[in-house]
């Protein structure tokens, strides 16, 4: 199966829609609305800094007039750290908690290692399907509609000590653009 971006599909549609100018415009508008309304996902990764007690995922852009349908963090490279719990927080600013208040042990209870595949999401189904002793994240009511272009910031936090500077965390935000 080949992959085509939304822009490639729109360009192809502009060249191939038959009919009068008005018919092409109406057809193009309907198809553009469909392309803009499907689920979209943003993904970014980070390697924790040695001795740091937090690992901030690079910002994940969400366009205006969107609904965030899920977000979370998955461990994509085994993490080693001082004995601590490993939690998650998320917001519209670096270190923010307006989307997800800090859940101190969402990724791991008291431990020194968090294995690959451990993950915590707002959607409890994804959390349950991943390995580890993770718990689902609790989203803040009334915050998941995005009125203007925004950036989601997810951070993994240790309750004590610091990361060993290895491993990798990947943040994911899934959304639907309404128009």
Where residue 5 falls among pLDDT bands split at 50, 70, 90?
Answer: very low
How many residues are there in the chain? 179
Question: Contact at 8 Å (CB) between 166 and 78?
Answer: yes
How remote is the C-alpha of 141 from its chain's centroid? 17
pLDDT of 97 reads 96
pTM of the model: 0.79
pLDDT in tens, 75-113: 999 999 999 999 999 999 999 999 999 999 999 998 899
pLDDT in tens, 107-147: 999 889 999 999 999 999 999 998 767 999 999 999 999 99
3-state secondary structure of 148: coil
pLDDT of 130 reads 87
Is the pLDDT reported for residue 10 higher than 60? no
Where residue 169 falls among pLDDT bands split at 50, 70, 90?
Answer: very high
Question: Which residue in this structure is represented by tokens 């038959």?
Answer: 18
Is the pLDDT reported for residue 8 higher than 60? no
Other Cβ atoms closer than 10 A to 169 = 28
Question: Contact at 8 Å (CB) between 159 and 104?
Answer: yes
% of the chain exceeding 90 in pLDDT: 70
If you average pLDDT over residues 65-75, what whole number do you get?
Answer: 96
Give the whole-angstrom CA distance, residue 157 versus residue 94.
13
Is the pLDDT reported for residue 7 higher than 80? no
Question: Which residue in this structure is represented by tokens 């431990």?
Answer: 111
CA 169 vs CA 28, 104, 172: distances in Å:
39, 16, 10
pLDDT of 9 reads 53
pLDDT in tens, 36-66: 557 899 999 999 999 999 999 999 999 999 9
């Amino acid at each position: 199966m080949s992959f085509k971006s939304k822009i490639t599909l729109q360009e192809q549609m502009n060249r191939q829609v038959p009919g009068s100018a008005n018919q092409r415009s109406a057809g193009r508008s309907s198809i553009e609305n469909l392309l803009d309304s499907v689920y979209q996902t943003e993904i970014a990764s980070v390697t924790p800094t040695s001795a740091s007690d937090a690992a901030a995922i690079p910002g994940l852009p969400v366009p205006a007039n969107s609904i965030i349908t899920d977000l979370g963090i998955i461990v994509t490279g085994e993490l080693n750290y001082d004995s601590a719990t490993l939690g998650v927080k998320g917001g519209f600013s670096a270190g923010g908690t307006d989307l997800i208040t800090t859940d101190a042990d969402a990724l791991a209870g008291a431990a020194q290692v968090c294995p690959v595949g451990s993950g915590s999401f707002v959607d409890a189904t994804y959390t349950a399907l991943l390995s580890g002793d993770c718990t689902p994240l609790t989203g803040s009511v009334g915050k998941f509609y995005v009125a203007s272009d925004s950036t989601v910031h997810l951070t993994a936090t240790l309750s004590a000590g610091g990361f060993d500077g290895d491993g990798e965390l990947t943040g994911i935000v899934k959304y639907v653009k309404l128009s």
